[in-house]
Structure 1
Amino acid sequence: MRAAALALAALLAAAGARAEAPPEPEGYRGENFRAPTPATLRGATVVTTPEAEALWRAGAAFIDVLPLPPRPRALPPGTLWRDPPRDSIPRAHWLANTGFGALAPGTEADFRQGLAAAADGDLDAPLVFFCLRDCWMSWNAAKRALAYGYRRVHWYPEGTDGWGEAGLPLERARPTAP
Protein backbone atom coordinates (compact mmCIF):
# COMPACT_ATOMS: atom_id res chain seq x y z
CA MET A 1 0.00 0.00 0.00
CA ARG A 2 2.83 2.39 0.89
CA ALA A 3 4.56 1.61 -2.42
CA ALA A 4 1.37 2.44 -4.32
CA ALA A 5 1.05 5.77 -2.48
CA LEU A 6 4.67 6.64 -3.27
CA ALA A 7 4.17 5.71 -6.91
CA LEU A 8 1.05 7.89 -7.07
CA ALA A 9 2.90 10.81 -5.44
CA ALA A 10 5.75 10.45 -7.96
CA LEU A 11 3.27 10.35 -10.84
CA LEU A 12 1.48 13.47 -9.59
CA ALA A 13 4.80 15.28 -9.12
CA ALA A 14 5.83 14.37 -12.67
CA ALA A 15 2.48 15.57 -14.01
CA GLY A 16 2.93 18.85 -12.12
CA ALA A 17 6.41 19.30 -13.60
CA ARG A 18 5.03 18.82 -17.11
CA ALA A 19 2.26 21.34 -16.44
CA GLU A 20 4.73 24.08 -15.45
CA ALA A 21 4.88 26.75 -18.13
CA PRO A 22 8.22 27.22 -19.87
CA PRO A 23 9.88 30.65 -19.83
CA GLU A 24 9.49 33.04 -22.75
CA PRO A 25 12.25 32.64 -25.30
CA GLU A 26 14.06 35.71 -26.60
CA GLY A 27 13.02 35.07 -30.19
CA TYR A 28 10.35 32.99 -31.84
CA ARG A 29 9.78 29.27 -31.28
CA GLY A 30 11.07 27.50 -34.39
CA GLU A 31 10.13 23.86 -33.81
CA ASN A 32 7.98 21.53 -31.72
CA PHE A 33 5.04 23.92 -31.93
CA ARG A 34 2.61 21.60 -30.10
CA ALA A 35 4.09 21.84 -26.61
CA PRO A 36 3.36 23.71 -23.39
CA THR A 37 3.58 27.47 -23.92
CA PRO A 38 4.71 30.25 -21.59
CA ALA A 39 2.16 31.83 -19.27
CA THR A 40 3.18 35.28 -20.51
CA LEU A 41 4.03 37.24 -23.63
CA ARG A 42 5.90 40.50 -22.96
CA GLY A 43 3.96 43.44 -24.39
CA ALA A 44 0.73 41.48 -24.86
CA THR A 45 -2.22 40.75 -22.63
CA VAL A 46 -2.79 37.05 -22.00
CA VAL A 47 -6.54 36.38 -21.85
CA THR A 48 -8.68 33.62 -20.37
CA THR A 49 -11.72 32.20 -22.10
CA PRO A 50 -14.16 34.59 -20.35
CA GLU A 51 -11.92 37.54 -21.22
CA ALA A 52 -11.62 36.36 -24.83
CA GLU A 53 -15.40 36.02 -25.02
CA ALA A 54 -15.83 39.59 -23.74
CA LEU A 55 -13.39 40.87 -26.38
CA TRP A 56 -15.21 38.86 -29.07
CA ARG A 57 -18.59 40.26 -28.02
CA ALA A 58 -17.07 43.77 -28.05
CA GLY A 59 -15.98 43.29 -31.68
CA ALA A 60 -12.21 42.74 -31.32
CA ALA A 61 -10.52 41.17 -34.33
CA PHE A 62 -9.67 37.52 -33.74
CA ILE A 63 -6.69 36.05 -35.61
CA ASP A 64 -6.52 32.27 -36.06
CA VAL A 65 -3.05 31.11 -37.13
CA LEU A 66 -3.54 27.33 -37.32
CA PRO A 67 -1.42 26.12 -40.26
CA LEU A 68 -2.86 24.31 -43.23
CA PRO A 69 -1.58 20.74 -43.45
CA PRO A 70 0.72 20.05 -46.38
CA ARG A 71 -0.58 17.94 -49.23
CA PRO A 72 0.61 14.36 -48.67
CA ARG A 73 3.58 13.60 -50.93
CA ALA A 74 2.47 10.05 -51.67
CA LEU A 75 -0.78 11.02 -53.40
CA PRO A 76 -0.89 9.80 -56.99
CA PRO A 77 -0.87 12.53 -59.65
CA GLY A 78 -4.33 13.90 -60.33
CA THR A 79 -5.66 12.96 -56.89
CA LEU A 80 -8.05 15.57 -55.56
CA TRP A 81 -6.83 17.03 -52.24
CA ARG A 82 -9.04 18.95 -49.85
CA ASP A 83 -7.70 20.55 -46.71
CA PRO A 84 -9.25 19.10 -43.56
CA PRO A 85 -12.08 21.25 -42.18
CA ARG A 86 -11.32 23.80 -39.47
CA ASP A 87 -13.87 24.96 -36.94
CA SER A 88 -12.86 28.34 -35.57
CA ILE A 89 -14.19 31.25 -33.56
CA PRO A 90 -16.90 33.04 -35.55
CA ARG A 91 -15.70 36.12 -37.48
CA ALA A 92 -12.04 35.16 -36.97
CA HIS A 93 -9.55 35.96 -39.69
CA TRP A 94 -7.77 32.67 -40.42
CA LEU A 95 -4.26 33.70 -41.41
CA ALA A 96 -2.97 30.17 -41.91
CA ASN A 97 0.74 29.35 -41.73
CA THR A 98 1.70 32.67 -40.13
CA GLY A 99 2.74 31.37 -36.72
CA PHE A 100 5.96 29.63 -37.66
CA GLY A 101 9.20 30.83 -36.08
CA ALA A 102 10.51 32.12 -39.41
CA LEU A 103 8.27 33.27 -42.24
CA ALA A 104 9.10 33.30 -45.91
CA PRO A 105 8.99 36.86 -47.32
CA GLY A 106 5.71 36.21 -49.15
CA THR A 107 4.07 34.70 -46.07
CA GLU A 108 5.26 37.62 -43.94
CA ALA A 109 3.83 40.09 -46.46
CA ASP A 110 0.52 38.18 -46.42
CA PHE A 111 0.53 38.26 -42.61
CA ARG A 112 1.13 42.01 -42.51
CA GLN A 113 -1.61 42.55 -45.08
CA GLY A 114 -4.02 40.26 -43.20
CA LEU A 115 -3.38 42.06 -39.92
CA ALA A 116 -3.87 45.45 -41.55
CA ALA A 117 -7.20 44.27 -42.99
CA ALA A 118 -8.34 42.77 -39.67
CA ALA A 119 -7.40 45.96 -37.80
CA ASP A 120 -8.71 48.32 -40.50
CA GLY A 121 -5.20 49.78 -40.62
CA ASP A 122 -5.40 50.84 -36.95
CA LEU A 123 -2.36 49.91 -34.84
CA ASP A 124 -4.51 50.48 -31.73
CA ALA A 125 -7.24 48.02 -32.77
CA PRO A 126 -7.57 45.11 -30.34
CA LEU A 127 -6.25 41.88 -31.89
CA VAL A 128 -6.72 38.46 -30.26
CA PHE A 129 -4.35 35.72 -31.47
CA PHE A 130 -5.17 32.05 -31.04
CA CYS A 131 -4.68 28.58 -32.42
CA LEU A 132 -5.09 25.46 -30.27
CA ARG A 133 -4.14 24.82 -26.65
CA ASP A 134 -0.39 24.19 -26.27
CA CYS A 135 0.35 25.74 -29.66
CA TRP A 136 3.30 28.07 -30.00
CA MET A 137 2.07 29.38 -33.35
CA SER A 138 -0.35 31.85 -31.74
CA TRP A 139 2.40 32.97 -29.34
CA ASN A 140 4.78 33.55 -32.26
CA ALA A 141 2.14 35.42 -34.28
CA ALA A 142 1.17 37.68 -31.37
CA LYS A 143 4.86 38.43 -30.70
CA ARG A 144 5.35 39.26 -34.37
CA ALA A 145 2.32 41.62 -34.33
CA LEU A 146 3.92 43.47 -31.42
CA ALA A 147 7.11 43.80 -33.46
CA TYR A 148 5.03 45.29 -36.30
CA GLY A 149 3.81 48.02 -33.95
CA TYR A 150 0.35 46.76 -32.94
CA ARG A 151 -0.30 48.05 -29.44
CA ARG A 152 -3.40 46.16 -28.24
CA VAL A 153 -2.28 42.58 -28.75
CA HIS A 154 -4.06 39.85 -26.81
CA TRP A 155 -2.93 36.24 -26.75
CA TYR A 156 -5.54 33.56 -26.08
CA PRO A 157 -3.50 30.40 -25.33
CA GLU A 158 -6.53 28.12 -24.85
CA GLY A 159 -7.54 28.69 -28.48
CA THR A 160 -10.42 26.84 -30.06
CA ASP A 161 -9.97 23.99 -27.56
CA GLY A 162 -10.84 26.21 -24.60
CA TRP A 163 -13.47 28.12 -26.57
CA GLY A 164 -15.34 24.96 -27.56
CA GLU A 165 -15.03 23.39 -24.09
CA ALA A 166 -16.71 26.51 -22.67
CA GLY A 167 -19.70 25.87 -24.94
CA LEU A 168 -18.99 28.95 -27.07
CA PRO A 169 -19.83 28.86 -30.77
CA LEU A 170 -17.48 27.56 -33.44
CA GLU A 171 -18.06 27.73 -37.16
CA ARG A 172 -16.46 26.23 -40.24
CA ALA A 173 -13.63 28.50 -41.36
CA ARG A 174 -11.78 29.15 -44.57
CA PRO A 175 -8.30 30.67 -44.73
CA THR A 176 -8.42 34.41 -45.31
CA ALA A 177 -6.97 35.29 -48.67
CA PRO A 178 -4.31 38.01 -48.51
Structure 2
Amino acid sequence: MKRLALALLLFAAPARGEEYRMGDYRAPVPLGLDGAVTVDTDEARDLLARGDVVVLDVLPAPRRPSDGTWLLPRPRLSLPGAVWLANTGYGDLSPAMREWFAGQLAQLSGGDKARPLMFFCVIDCWMSWNAAKRALSLGYARVYWYPDGSDGWEFADLPLERVEPRGP
Protein backbone atom coordinates (compact mmCIF):
# COMPACT_ATOMS: atom_id res chain seq x y z
CA MET A 1 0.00 0.00 0.00
CA LYS A 2 2.86 2.39 0.81
CA ARG A 3 4.35 1.75 -2.63
CA LEU A 4 1.08 2.59 -4.30
CA ALA A 5 0.78 5.86 -2.34
CA LEU A 6 4.37 6.77 -3.19
CA ALA A 7 3.82 5.94 -6.85
CA LEU A 8 0.72 8.13 -6.93
CA LEU A 9 2.58 11.03 -5.31
CA LEU A 10 5.46 10.70 -7.77
CA PHE A 11 3.03 10.52 -10.68
CA ALA A 12 1.22 13.62 -9.47
CA ALA A 13 4.31 15.75 -8.88
CA PRO A 14 5.74 18.03 -11.56
CA ALA A 15 8.82 16.60 -13.22
CA ARG A 16 12.08 17.29 -11.43
CA GLY A 17 13.33 20.78 -12.29
CA GLU A 18 9.87 21.86 -13.42
CA GLU A 19 8.48 24.75 -11.44
CA TYR A 20 4.87 24.36 -12.58
CA ARG A 21 2.78 21.52 -13.94
CA MET A 22 3.09 21.95 -17.71
CA GLY A 23 0.44 19.59 -19.04
CA ASP A 24 -2.06 16.87 -18.20
CA TYR A 25 -3.80 19.37 -15.92
CA ARG A 26 -6.71 17.03 -15.15
CA ALA A 27 -4.81 14.44 -13.14
CA PRO A 28 -4.36 13.51 -9.48
CA VAL A 29 -2.82 16.40 -7.55
CA PRO A 30 -0.35 16.24 -4.66
CA LEU A 31 -1.43 16.43 -1.04
CA GLY A 32 -0.08 19.93 -0.60
CA LEU A 33 1.94 22.82 -1.91
CA ASP A 34 5.05 24.09 -0.13
CA GLY A 35 4.39 27.55 1.28
CA ALA A 36 0.60 27.30 1.00
CA VAL A 37 -2.02 25.97 3.38
CA THR A 38 -4.04 23.16 1.83
CA VAL A 39 -7.67 23.32 2.96
CA ASP A 40 -10.59 20.92 2.80
CA THR A 41 -14.20 21.94 2.25
CA ASP A 42 -14.93 22.72 5.92
CA GLU A 43 -11.82 24.87 6.18
CA ALA A 44 -12.64 26.63 2.90
CA ARG A 45 -16.16 27.36 4.18
CA ASP A 46 -14.67 28.78 7.40
CA LEU A 47 -12.31 31.01 5.41
CA LEU A 48 -15.21 32.38 3.39
CA ALA A 49 -17.24 32.96 6.56
CA ARG A 50 -14.42 35.10 7.98
CA GLY A 51 -14.89 37.43 5.04
CA ASP A 52 -11.30 38.57 4.47
CA VAL A 53 -10.11 35.95 1.98
CA VAL A 54 -9.96 36.67 -1.75
CA VAL A 55 -11.58 33.66 -3.43
CA LEU A 56 -9.98 32.87 -6.79
CA ASP A 57 -11.37 30.41 -9.33
CA VAL A 58 -8.80 29.60 -12.01
CA LEU A 59 -10.71 27.10 -14.15
CA PRO A 60 -9.74 27.55 -17.80
CA ALA A 61 -12.24 29.01 -20.25
CA PRO A 62 -11.91 28.97 -24.04
CA ARG A 63 -12.01 32.13 -26.12
CA ARG A 64 -13.53 32.66 -29.55
CA PRO A 65 -10.64 32.76 -32.06
CA SER A 66 -12.19 35.51 -34.16
CA ASP A 67 -12.73 38.23 -31.56
CA GLY A 68 -11.34 36.91 -28.26
CA THR A 69 -14.68 36.89 -26.43
CA TRP A 70 -15.37 34.06 -24.00
CA LEU A 71 -16.87 30.90 -25.46
CA LEU A 72 -18.65 29.27 -22.54
CA PRO A 73 -20.48 26.02 -23.30
CA ARG A 74 -22.42 26.33 -20.02
CA PRO A 75 -22.54 28.76 -17.10
CA ARG A 76 -19.78 28.39 -14.51
CA LEU A 77 -21.09 27.83 -11.00
CA SER A 78 -18.48 28.73 -8.43
CA LEU A 79 -17.96 29.47 -4.75
CA PRO A 80 -19.81 32.51 -3.41
CA GLY A 81 -17.88 35.71 -4.01
CA ALA A 82 -15.29 34.06 -6.23
CA VAL A 83 -13.44 35.98 -8.91
CA TRP A 84 -12.81 33.84 -11.99
CA LEU A 85 -9.30 34.52 -13.28
CA ALA A 86 -9.67 32.22 -16.28
CA ASN A 87 -6.62 30.58 -17.81
CA THR A 88 -4.16 31.75 -15.14
CA GLY A 89 -3.34 28.24 -13.94
CA TYR A 90 -1.45 27.01 -16.96
CA GLY A 91 2.18 26.12 -16.31
CA ASP A 92 3.52 28.39 -19.02
CA LEU A 93 1.88 31.80 -19.13
CA SER A 94 2.78 34.46 -21.66
CA PRO A 95 4.53 37.52 -20.23
CA ALA A 96 1.32 39.52 -20.79
CA MET A 97 -0.76 36.94 -18.90
CA ARG A 98 1.77 36.79 -16.03
CA GLU A 99 1.64 40.58 -15.78
CA TRP A 100 -2.17 40.59 -15.90
CA PHE A 101 -2.35 37.90 -13.20
CA ALA A 102 0.02 39.86 -10.93
CA GLY A 103 -2.04 43.00 -11.51
CA GLN A 104 -5.29 41.23 -10.68
CA LEU A 105 -3.85 39.86 -7.43
CA ALA A 106 -2.57 43.32 -6.50
CA GLN A 107 -5.96 44.88 -7.24
CA LEU A 108 -8.01 42.19 -5.48
CA SER A 109 -5.76 42.17 -2.41
CA GLY A 110 -5.68 45.95 -2.21
CA GLY A 111 -1.90 45.72 -2.63
CA ASP A 112 -1.64 43.82 0.67
CA LYS A 113 0.58 40.76 0.16
CA ALA A 114 -0.52 39.50 3.59
CA ARG A 115 -4.17 39.39 2.52
CA PRO A 116 -5.36 35.77 2.37
CA LEU A 117 -5.86 34.36 -1.14
CA MET A 118 -7.63 31.05 -1.74
CA PHE A 119 -7.14 29.32 -5.10
CA PHE A 120 -9.33 26.55 -6.47
CA CYS A 121 -10.56 24.94 -9.66
CA VAL A 122 -12.21 21.50 -9.64
CA ILE A 123 -11.13 18.13 -8.25
CA ASP A 124 -7.92 16.79 -9.78
CA CYS A 125 -7.05 20.02 -11.52
CA TRP A 126 -3.50 21.34 -11.46
CA MET A 127 -4.60 24.83 -12.49
CA SER A 128 -5.21 25.92 -8.90
CA TRP A 129 -1.91 24.39 -7.73
CA ASN A 130 -0.03 26.31 -10.43
CA ALA A 131 -1.84 29.58 -9.71
CA ALA A 132 -1.28 29.27 -5.95
CA LYS A 133 2.40 28.52 -6.54
CA ARG A 134 2.64 31.56 -8.82
CA ALA A 135 1.06 33.77 -6.11
CA LEU A 136 3.67 32.52 -3.65
CA SER A 137 6.41 33.41 -6.13
CA LEU A 138 4.95 36.93 -6.29
CA GLY A 139 5.43 37.28 -2.54
CA TYR A 140 1.92 36.61 -1.23
CA ALA A 141 2.30 35.28 2.29
CA ARG A 142 -1.12 33.79 3.08
CA VAL A 143 -1.95 31.48 0.20
CA TYR A 144 -4.59 28.79 0.60
CA TRP A 145 -5.10 25.97 -1.86
CA TYR A 146 -8.48 24.23 -2.02
CA PRO A 147 -7.85 21.17 -4.24
CA ASP A 148 -11.46 19.90 -4.14
CA GLY A 149 -12.66 23.19 -5.58
CA SER A 150 -16.18 23.76 -6.79
CA ASP A 151 -16.74 19.99 -7.05
CA GLY A 152 -16.03 19.49 -3.35
CA TRP A 153 -18.18 22.51 -2.52
CA GLU A 154 -21.08 21.09 -4.52
CA PHE A 155 -20.63 17.58 -3.04
CA ALA A 156 -20.99 19.15 0.42
CA ASP A 157 -24.30 20.67 -0.76
CA LEU A 158 -23.01 24.23 -0.27
CA PRO A 159 -24.38 27.06 -2.41
CA LEU A 160 -22.75 27.91 -5.71
CA GLU A 161 -23.26 31.05 -7.74
CA ARG A 162 -22.79 31.96 -11.36
CA VAL A 163 -19.54 33.73 -12.15
CA GLU A 164 -18.19 35.33 -15.33
CA PRO A 165 -14.55 34.95 -16.39
CA ARG A 166 -12.05 37.76 -16.25
CA GLY A 167 -9.12 37.81 -18.58
CA PRO A 168 -6.90 40.13 -20.53
The TM-score range, normalised by the shorter chain, is 0.7 to 0.9
Instruction: State the Cα deviation string for residues 26-59 of structure 1 (Å, max 9, x = none).
Output: 5100000000000010000000000000001111
Tell me the equivalent position of 2:59.
66
Secondary structure, counterpart of 1:172 in structure 2: strand
Structure 2 residue 162 is matched with structure 1 residue 169? no
Superposed displacement of residue 69, structure 1: 2.2
Partner of 2:166, secondary structure, is coil
Deviations 1:147-178 (A, max 9, x none): 00000000000000000111111111001356
1:1-178 alignment to 2 at 5 Å?
20-22=8-10, 24-25=13-14, 26-59=18-51, 60-71=53-64, 82-84=71-73, 85-176=75-166
Conservation of the 8 A alpha-carbon contact between 1:24 and 1:41 = no
Deviations 1:116-174 (A, max 9, x none): 12211100001000000000000000000000000000000000000011111111100
Give the drift of 1:18. 10
User: Secondary structure of the residue that 1:67 maps to in structure 2?
Assistant: coil
Q: Please give the alpha-carbon distance, in whole angstroms, between the structure 2 residues aligned to 1:151 and 1:125.
A: 8
1:46-84 Cα shifts (integer Å, max 9, x gaps): 00000000001111111100011244x7xxx89x98423
Task: Select the structure of larger CA radius of gyration.
Answer: 1
CA RMSD of aligned residues (A): 2.5
Gapped regions of structure 2 (runs ≥ 5): none
Aligned length: 159
Question: Percent identity over the alignment?
Answer: 52
Distance 1:139 1:177 in 2: 19
TM-score (norm: length of structure 1): 0.81
TM score, norm. by length of structure 2: 0.85
